[in-house]
Amino acid sequence: MDGIPRVTEHPTSHEGRQPLAARSQERTRPRAQAAGASPVPAGQPPQPQPQPQVHTAPLQPQDIAGTARREGDRLRFVGAATRRIARGIDLDEIVLGLCRATVPTFSDAILVYLRDPLPVGDERPVSPFVLRLRRTDRLRSSADDTDQGGVGAMPLLDAGSEPTPAAELCEVRSGGALSEVLRGVRPVFGDSAAARAALPELLGDGRSVPTGHRAILAPLRGRRRVIGAAVFLRRPDRPAFEPNDLLVAAQLATHTALGIDKAVLYGREAYIADELQRTMLPDSLPQPTGVRLASRYLPAAETARVGGDWYDAIPLPGSRVALVVGDVMGHSMTSAAIMGQLRTTAQTLAGLDLPPQEVLHHLDEQAQRLGTDRMATCLYAVYDPVSHRITIANAGHPPPILLHLGGRAEVLRVPPGAPIGVGGVDFEAVELDAPAGATLLLYTDGLVESRLRDVWTGIEQLRERLADTAQLTGPDHSPPLEALCDDVLDMLGPGDRDDDIALLAARFDGIAPSDVAYWFLEPEDAAPGRARRLARRALARWGLEELSDSVELLVSEVVTNAVRYAERPVTLRLLRTDVLRCEVGDDSPQLPRQRRARDTDEGGRGLFLVNRLARRWGATRLSTGKVVWFELPTRA
């Protein structure tokens, strides 16, 4: 390629060839004979021939010292520049590192073009091949130029009579001059034939390097393909680029391209990690009756966004709610994947309405199936707003803290148990009071444990922080739930983020006994009529007579369906909160399914009516049967 110096090696000797001295004599012998020298008679030693006088100017010591100094400066510059480029993590930092390292030490201006879009890993690049001007830097040209270093400033190019910035986009034509230079990979001088044809294509129609400026065009090649190009410019008042500067430009281009490749791969991995973490954690928390919820999640660091911490809130039959928080060992993608499997298992077990200790037992079995080293801690609690009680089982997790309405913070005494994955360990559940206005705080050990403090010291500090926060709102008011979560996280110091943090706060409002009506109905033909009368009386007591017609119709249909399959008494419960909720339970595990009845069918329209008249409805299988429920708004 024109303009590229080629370095050739001159060996001192090779196998099978004469020594250099002998070859020298052979080369000089014909010249001596051609000059008229008589041949040497056989048997006589050769006479020494006079050597031609060659007049060479000896190198001066100052020239040798200057060359060595320039080469040393060049090596130091390359080392410092590559270190600055390597410090960048993302794409912008790497390109900025290249610009700041070269301007003004190596060049007065630089243009960096990158492929748009940048291919990731083994992806096939999209067509056509388009380069986008990613960044430019230049020296300020005068005292009035306020651009210190020219961050984002366009180097001015010649375009006829008017100076103009470089074009932002460039489509590389297959077989064109620019394509040939990029395919060659090696940097070329701007005054070479290849660069003179390629630069106008890169810079834009009618644009060229300013008159008198020197340029180097350096392709940026990553691990698998060319991903861009860099143009280095020098003003006429600076020394011209030397052949060794091509090697410098090649070094800078190589380090930049490899760094960009690494940054693009890292960005894709970070995106995948974020998406994985986002899908593993709930998008939003449910708002079950009688309890308010708030949550927080913080990764261990920006560079390690995934981990094994999770939380969940799962509505259960009877207006109950399951509260779960867990922590899988590690901060890798594997930990996040295991966390997702355990969270899914916990949701499935909660849907079966198993006791908390049974849920932990099945989670332990699932962890052992995933692998022998799959360890996790977990705390599973079930809150009943009607009875104002909470049942908790623990598997090696930090104990929860209950903040009472008066401001007293209490670390609940829950048997710690063994972590999930140990195997062969029984878990124990305890049932505790959950008074209205109290707040239960579930958290992972990243909140209370770090290199600066042990876990029990952190738990005590958390308890004190909750008590201090509650004192600010007075003894008769609970602190706002969202503000309480933020205040808890504020207790973390700069060195306290060694682990992921998952936080779940539950404010117990409960359901007053006066807002609950509960009956047992024998599985007989008269049960639907009795259910209608009981529901009408309860609605009259609550002042909801306008709902009587709809409630009586729906209760009659659901109770009729329950009586058809039940063998034990059917339960009927009405709950009045912001909605009216009706729950009908029986001992048959078969869940009802809505179907479209034909015109000739005598039945099959009950659930169709429920679906049309109720705001929401559903059915949940229990360990002792099932519950079918529906909700109606209490006000228009």
Sketch out the chain's domains with CATH numbers.
65-137+166-270 (3.30.450.40), 281-508 (3.60.40.10), 513-633 (3.30.565.10)
Instruction: Phi first, then psi: give them for residue 566, nearest 5 degrees.
Output: -80, 150
Distances in whole angstroms, Cα of residue 244 to Cα of each of 5, 6, 208, 232: 9, 11, 24, 14
The H-or-E segment that residue 63 falls in is helix 61-86
Rg of the chain in Å (alpha carbons): 40
Cβ atoms of 97 and 119 within 8 Å: the answer is: no
Cis preceding-peptide flag for 282 (omega within 30 of 0):
no
Q: How far is CA 99 from the centre of its chain?
A: 28
Q: How far is CA 173 from the centre of its chain?
A: 36
> How many CA atoms lie less than 13 Å away from 328 in the CB half-sphere?
26
Separation of alpha carbons 84 and 527, rounded Å:
82
pLDDT of 17 reads 40
Residue 227, SS3?
strand
pLDDT of 476 reads 80
pLDDT digits (tens, 9 = 90+) for 232-276: 999 888 888 988 999 999 999 999 999 998 888 888 877 777 777
**146: alpha, beta or left? (left if phi > 0; alpha if psi -120 to 50):** alpha
Q: Which of 176, 191, 172, 173 is nearest to 229 (CA)?
A: 172
611: its two tokens: 């679906």
The helix-helix angle for 606-613 and 548-565 (nearest 10°) equals 150
Separation of alpha carbons 373 and 423, rounded Å:
11
pLDDT of 340 reads 87
Q: Which of 354, 359, 352 is nearest to 427 (CA)?
A: 359
Low-confidence spans in the chain with pLDDT less than 50:
1-43, 52, 54-56, 59, 142-154, 600-602
Distances in whole angstroms, Cα of residue 38 to Cα of each of 53, 74, 267, 546, 581: 21, 55, 81, 138, 128
The helix-helix angle for 243-280 and 333-351 (nearest 10°) equals 10
Cβ atoms of 202 and 229 within 8 Å: the answer is: yes
Residues with Cβ within 8 Å of residue 514, at least 6 apart in sequence = none
Neighbours of 283 (CB within 10 A): 6
Instruction: Phi first, then psi: give them for residue 491, nearest 5 degrees.
Output: -75, -10
Neighbours of 154 (CB within 10 A): 17
Separation of alpha carbons 187 and 416, rounded Å:
66
Distances in whole angstroms, Cα of residue 560 to Cα of each of 12, 440, 527, 604: 106, 40, 8, 11
Token look-up 């940048």 returns 118
- Record the pTM: 0.66
pLDDT of 253 reads 93
Q: Residue 296 corresponds to which amino acid?
A: R
Separation of alpha carbons 215 and 155, rounded Å:
12
Alpha helices in 216-332 (DSSP H): 243-280
Q: Residue 87 corresponds to which amino acid?
A: R
